[in-house]
Amino acid sequence: MKTSLCRLTMVAAFGVAAFSLGSGAAFAEPLRVGKPQAEVFSFVPLDVGIQQGIFAKHGIEVEGLALGGAAKLQQAMAAGAIDVGLGSGPALSFIAKGAPQLGIAAMAGRPSIMALLVAKDGPIKTVADLKGKTLSISAPGGVPEWLARELSRQQGWGPDGITLVGLGADSSQIAALRTGETVGFPNDIFVASRLERQGVGRILVKFGDIVPVFMMHVIFANDTAIANRGDDLRKFLAGWFETIAYMRQNKAASVKIAAEVTNVPSDIIESVYDSVMPMFSDDGRFDPKALKVLSASFVELNLLPTEPDMSKLYTERFLPSAVK
């Protein structure tokens, strides 16, 4: 089945650019699926599934929306501007605060997508050199902060053995690294690999190597979609997990799409691809051990005052009974 060309749409309340590569088949209503950023490899399966007609094969038209950040994704979910959101594991905490949504699939486990970049010729030669030093993060309360604290814990320094400062966008963090204001920052491993090639820094830690149990990403659906579009959610998840299987078996085609979407050179994507793909879940089941880690992280990151009842934050009823 041939796919149409990308088209730009507008989500009126947010003024965000969107992409859609729907098939030529006619569907009653597209399922609007949002992702925080267009350029992050974690969310590339959405593009692959659309472009390869996998979602259409399952009888669902998927409209992909790039929302320009995690905060805007949550706003769009709450306003009903999107039906499904691809988000982080810690975003489950918003449900405990009353966000009208549930996690409907565990999307990715260990944080293989994340790496710690340090200055190429800076003072940090080994992990031990990080004690008492300053790393930047985009903002408090997210995965980068938790990973930095976990790294500190594993070194025996406690969660505060590394100083963290929120600097916002990558450009600000790179500038701080260049001037020596910070010694490094956690980032997407594909971005870190590109910066390493450009001589900005070097990768010191691949977090997927040191954090075996985590829930990096979750697929969410808002309450309206859960109540009214259950069959479409099942079709979407069936297509999603078939897409993951396709990507495992078709590296070249997947790398090509990923390079187009993320603007990362294809050879960089190809070099990291095999180490990152294992993080994706094959069935979407929520691992109790990973949920326990997440629950504790909510308190540590000051997202919640106490650990919530995690069973109330997700459902597995839309998952395919068997993923082919």
Domain extent listing, the chain: 10-110+215-288+295-312, 114-210
pLDDT digits (tens, 9 = 90+) for 214-241: 999 999 999 999 999 999 999 999 999 9
pLDDT digits (tens, 9 = 90+) for 244-275: 999 999 999 999 999 999 888 999 999 999 99
Of residues 4, 69, 6, 3, the one with CA closest to residue 34: 69
User: Considering the domain 10-110+215-288+295-312, what is its CATH architecture?
Assistant: 3-Layer(aba) Sandwich (3.40)
Task: Give the separation between CA 264 and CA 271, rounded to whole angstroms.
Answer: 12
The CA R_g of the chain, rounded to the nearest whole Å, is 19
Q: What confidence score (pLDDT) does residue 39 get? A: 81
How many angstroms separate the Cα of 164 from the Cα of each of 24, 88, 114, 182, 230? 49, 20, 17, 9, 42
Number of H helices, E strands in the chain: 13, 12
When pLDDT is cut at 50, 70 and 90, the band that residue 27 belongs to is low
- DSSP 8-state assignment for residue 218: E
Q: What confidence score (pLDDT) does residue 294 get? A: 96
Q: What confidence score (pLDDT) does residue 54 get? A: 98
Q: What confidence score (pLDDT) does residue 20 get? A: 37
What's the whole-number mean pLDDT along residues 49-72? 94
Beta strands 163-166; 134-137: pairing state: parallel
Same fold, 10-110+215-288+295-312 and 114-210: yes
Contacts of 51 (CB under 8 A, 6+ apart): 3, 21, 257
Q: What confidence score (pLDDT) does residue 9 get? A: 34
Q: What confidence score (pLDDT) does residue 323 get? A: 45
pLDDT at 12 over 80: no
In 18-127, which residue ranges form alpha helices assigned H by DSSP?
A: 44-51, 54-57, 70-79, 93-96
How many angstroms separate the Cα of 147 from the Cα of each of 30, 115, 202, 287, 301? 36, 9, 18, 19, 11
Q: Which CATH class is domain 114-210?
A: alpha beta
- Do 97 and 305 form a contact (C-beta atoms < 8 A)? no
Q: How much of the chain, in percent, has pLDDT values that exceed 70? A: 90
pLDDT at 117 over 90: yes
pLDDT at 202 over 50: yes
Q: What confidence score (pLDDT) does residue 26 get? A: 47
Beta strands 201-206; 134-137: pairing state: unpaired
> Which class for 171: exposed (0-12), middle (13-18), buried (19 or more C-beta within 10 A)?
exposed
pLDDT digits (tens, 9 = 90+) for 271-321: 999 999 999 999 999 999 999 999 999 999 999 999 999 999 999 999 997
How many angstroms separate the Cα of 104 from the Cα of each of 179, 285, 319? 43, 9, 7
pLDDT at 23 over 80: no
What b/e string do you get for 185-199 counting C-beta neighbours within 10 Å, with b at 16 or more? Answer: bbbbbbbbbbbbeee
